[in-house]
Amino acid sequence: MDMVSLDNISYNSQGLIPAIVQDIRSKAVLMMAWMNAESLWLTITSGKAHFWSRSRQKLWMKGETSGNTLLVCDIFVDCDQDALLLMVKPSGPACHTGHTSCFFRHLEKENVR
């Protein structure tokens, strides 16, 4: 397996990288959030998923208020090194609405071309 150095991660112009979160057991995609270098480092060193809130302009740990943390088992980097895939063991629902996944809505077919 190829390894990628933290120095080679490609952040966007805002210093962020998208992070897709997937349940390591069920393979369900749970959520997508943004990470910056600090949240990625906190995730690596703590083993729990940390992200950057664009709306609040601050770091946050998933589950810091709900208790529904994400234990990070592995982190993959895509071929362009500009997106991450976090493989996790969730301790509860990933979505703030209480759904297991943030991806619980279907797009209406007439809107798909």
pLDDT for the residue 111: 63
Under 8 Å between Cβ of 2 and 10: no
Per-residue pLDDT tens over the stretch 47-103 = 999 999 999 999 999 999 999 999 999 999 999 999 999 999 999 999 999 999 999
Q: Give backbone dihedrals phi and psi of 83, rounded to 5 degrees, phi first.
A: -155, 145
CATH architecture, domain defined by 6-111: Roll (3.10)
Residue 110 — very low, low, confident or very high, per pLDDT cuts 50/70/90?
confident
Domain definitions of the chain by residue range: 6-111
Residue 112 — very low, low, confident or very high, per pLDDT cuts 50/70/90?
low
| pTM for this prediction | 0.92
Under 8 Å between Cβ of 60 and 68: no
Structure tokens at 106: 């279907």
